[in-house]
Amino acid sequence: MMKRHGILLLLMLGFSLTAPAQVSEPTVYASVFSTKLFVVGAANPQTGMFYHRPSEDTVWRHTGAKNIRANALAVFPGSDGRIRYTASGNGLHKTTDGGNNWKITTGWRITEIWAVSLDPVDPSAVYIGTAYGIYKSTDQGDTWKQVFTGFVSCIIVDRTNPSVLYAATELGVYKSTDRGETWQRTGLSIDRTRTVTQHPKDPQTLLVGTEKHGIYATSNGGRTWTKREAGIDHETFYTIAFDPSDPSIVYAGGYATGVYRSKDGGYSWRRTCVGFAVEHIHSIAVDPTDTRRVYAGTMGAGMYRSEDRGENWRFIGLPGAQVGRIVIEP
């Protein structure tokens, strides 16, 4: 009877017991922080890293530890999914063999990891943002050094220059120009920032989502910032994503926002909510192999996908999930 319940639960969560789909499709990875409301010690549904391919509709497979509240994830570019990290309350989980074996690379001192970012060139360099600061590893997570103190929500590595990093923190947006060794506050006056995103073609242009202060932009690597008004001044944004083929198209999501879309690089925005069960959006990613296809991870209602650049959305699985981050590997 218990076994039958277990299978039923798997099916409800959209798990597949079938073989993977064709490998030519991109793989969509999602970190699931919680499913509905998580209570420590209770019988919670699975959290952690899930993956999926576009042709699989609502089917998602779980990989790695099943009960870890995964806030973020990273996949080393070009590794075909072999090198992956899941950032969680239990620490940073790493696989280097495509998910067959996982190891927590952090110890008891590092907890509540909210962000993980990789050097796009050097697979040994890993950065994590936690409730207590930023930690850096130069040996794929075997050892760690704290390089920043403060609550960190998001870290990115400049895709054109891996010496440069940006971090969205509770103390403003910080920048490092020496591979994370030292950090300086940028010119943004807002303290509580939640996400930072780099323009796909102009590395000096960044957009930042804040807690209750909308979106700010810089075109000079963080020296000066301007607020993007357009009716989103007091919104909270957890995620911003550029269309990699046409960076004038930008998507943003946050608390009770649905998905906002801009067609002018973030100067004006239009809200789209068609198809969503909830309006809280925590993660957005654009499929680089077909940029009409956009994914949105909600807070408490699973994963949605649009096939028309965000006009209409459809539920595609992970019911009840709070999706911390989405990464798409071509």
Partner 1 sequence: MTIAKYTLTVAVCVAGLSRAQMKNEEAYKKEYEQRAAFIASAYDTSSYSSYYAIAARYARNRDIRWADSLFVELLKEPRGDMFWMFPVIGAYLHGKDKMSEETRLAVRNSWKSYTPYRGDTENHWCMYYGSLFLAAEQWPGLPGSEWFNGKSSDENLIEAKEYLIEWMRITTTIGQGEFDSPDYLPEFVIPMVLLAEFAQDPEMKLRGRMMADYVLADFAVDHLEGQYIGGFSRIYQPAVYKPLLSQASAYAYLYFGTGNPTTSGWVLLPALSSYRLPHSIYRIALDRSKPYVHKERKRVRNIIRLGTVKNPPVYKYTYMTQDYGLSSLHGGILQPIQQHTWSVRFTRGEPYTTVFGLHPYWSALELIMFFPEEERMMIADVVASKGTYNNPDKWTGSSPFERTFQYKNTLIVLYDIEPGTTTEHIDGFFPMTLDHRSVDPSGWIVCRAGNTYIGWYPLQEYEWIDEYEKPGQSLNTIGRPEMGMDAPVLGNWRLRSHKLQNGYVVEVRSKNEIGSFETFVNGLRKRIAKATLKPGAVSVDYRTLEGAHMKFSFPEGRALNGVNVDLTKTKLFDGPFLNAEVGSERLTITHGKQRRILDFKKLQISE
Amino acid at 234: H
CB of 247 to partner 1, least distance (A): 27
CB of 130 to partner 1, least distance (A): 8
> Nearer to partner 1 by C-beta: 6 or 231?
6
Residue 294, helix vs strand vs coil: strand
Measured over the CA atoms of residue 220, residue 261, residue 127 and residue 202, the dihedral's sign is negative
> Nearer to partner 1 by C-beta: 5 or 22?
5
CB distance 49 to 66 below 8 Å:
no
Task: Give yes or no for residue 132 binding partner 1 (CB under 8 A).
Answer: yes
Task: Give yes or no for residue 37 binding partner 1 (CB under 8 A).
Answer: yes
* Both structure tokens of 257: 């926002």
Task: Give yes or no for residue 40 binding partner 1 (CB under 8 A).
Answer: yes
> Nearer to partner 1 by C-beta: 19 or 41?
41
DSSP secondary structure letters along 48-108: EEEEE-GGGTT-BEEES-SSS-EEEEEE-TTSTTSSEEEEETTEEEEESSTTSS-EE---T
Task: Give yes or no for residue 62 binding partner 1 (CB under 8 A).
Answer: no
Task: Give yes or no for residue 270 binding partner 1 (CB under 8 A).
Answer: no
Instruction: Find all residues with CB under 8 Å of 93, minimum gap 6, and list them.
Output: 49, 64, 65, 68, 85, 86, 102, 103, 104, 105
**What is the distance in angstroms between the CA of the first residue and the CA of the last residue of the chain?**
41
Task: Give yes or no for residue 211 binding partner 1 (CB under 8 A).
Answer: yes
Task: Give yes or no for residue 87 binding partner 1 (CB under 8 A).
Answer: no
Task: Give yes or no for residue 273 binding partner 1 (CB under 8 A).
Answer: no
Task: Give yes or no for residue 96 binding partner 1 (CB under 8 A).
Answer: no
**Size of the residue set binding partner 1 (CB under 8 A):** 40
In the list 14, 54, 91, 214, the residue contacting partner 1 (rule: CB under 8 A) is 91
Neighbours of 2 (CB within 10 A): 5
Site for partner 1 in 281-310 (CB under 8 A): 282, 299-300
Residues lying near partner 1 in the complex (CB under 8 A) are found at: 2, 6, 37-43, 65-69, 89-91, 93, 101-104, 107-108, 111-112, 114, 131-132, 151, 170, 211, 236, 238, 255-256, 280, 282, 299-300
